[in-house]
Structure 1
Amino acid sequence: MANLKNAKKRILVNKKKEVRNNNYEASIKTAIKKTERAIARKDKDLANENLAVAIKRIDKAAGAKVIAKNTAARKKSRLTKKVNSMVTE
């Protein structure tokens, strides 16, 4: 266990940040899964709605520096490409 006051504080702060980061990650994964399920069902309207939600959540996580901006861009690009390929079919 930490003995210094600032070390104890860092432990508490790190736990709070871990919870926040896990919530961001979970919400991103959920949004992506919902979008992919809509794509699998070939539901264009639902896929587009879920895509907008997923992009919003990915951007928020990138803004909070939970994920890197290039990772966010890659996730958005891949998901958008899947939705667009479904729409053109």
Structure 2
Amino acid sequence: MGIPQKSLVIGACEIACHYPELSLNDAAGDALQLAEKIRLCGIEENQKKETVFIAACRFVSADKDLTPQKAIEKALRLWDIIEA
């Protein structure tokens, strides 16, 4: 299972709210790019996948210089810290 549509919309909204100069299509594209990169990470647990996605969207929306890959890595580190 991929990222649920509800979370994709929330993630795109998070990005769009912080970057009003982006079109909704661009914000959705950024969210979909993050979702695809997370899919390629091979995370099997759906809750972890969705949580990492939302966190990565928030990290990207807070720092426009942060790459999608770095945002995902940061979200995964945060997951590991909380899980420990």
Structure with bigger RCO (C-alpha 8 Å, 6+ apart): 2
Largest Rg, 1 or 2: 1
- Superposition TM-score, scaled by structure 2 size: 0.32
